[in-house]
Amino acid sequence: MHCAFVPPVIDVPREGTICDMRDDAKGVVVFFDTVTDANTADALVGCSVLVRRADLPEGVLELEEGGIEGFDVVDAKCGLIGTAVSINEMPGQHLLEVAREGSDKTVLIPVVDEFLEGVDEADRCIFVNLPDGLLDL
């Protein structure tokens, strides 16, 4: 699968092809044909890997049955925010739409590593750590 590394980094490849993937204790390790040494790998730390949707295996982007709809959304500081309604795909990032607890309003939360703490599928709960003021928008 052909991919691009973003943002581009000077003096390292900007593209590559996934040549191997292995399960590891910490997750999945992905090997690229253009990343041939530790220095190149270190330079790409923090980059995102983009692939074409058409190149992904069928069904990989589909949520499991029922998706995240109905999951409780709990903030580290505020506690229960509300219930997940949907994930809205936007050009820059995905937004988690949450129906506010005890209100007819919804809030949009960017689905980014800085805000997402974890997901407990068994308890149907999404844990977030939101910056001050985001819920007031």
Q: Quick: pLDDT tens for 99-119.
A: 998 888 999 998 888 898 888
pLDDT band of residue 61 (cuts 50, 70, 90) is low
Q: Which residues in the chain are classed under CATH 2.30.30.240?
A: 72-136
Task: Could you please state the CATH topology (level 3) that the domain comprising 72-136 is classified under.
Answer: SH3 type barrels. (2.30.30)
Q: Quick: pLDDT tens for 10-46.
A: 999 999 999 998 888 877 888 999 999 999 999 999 8
106-110 β-sheet, strand order: 106-110, 94-100, 79-89, 72-75, 125-128, 116-120
Q: What is the pTM of this model?
A: 0.55
- Residue 111 contacts residue 94 (beta carbons within 8 Å): yes
What is the amino acid identity at position 62?
E
Q: Report DSSP state, residue 77.
A: T
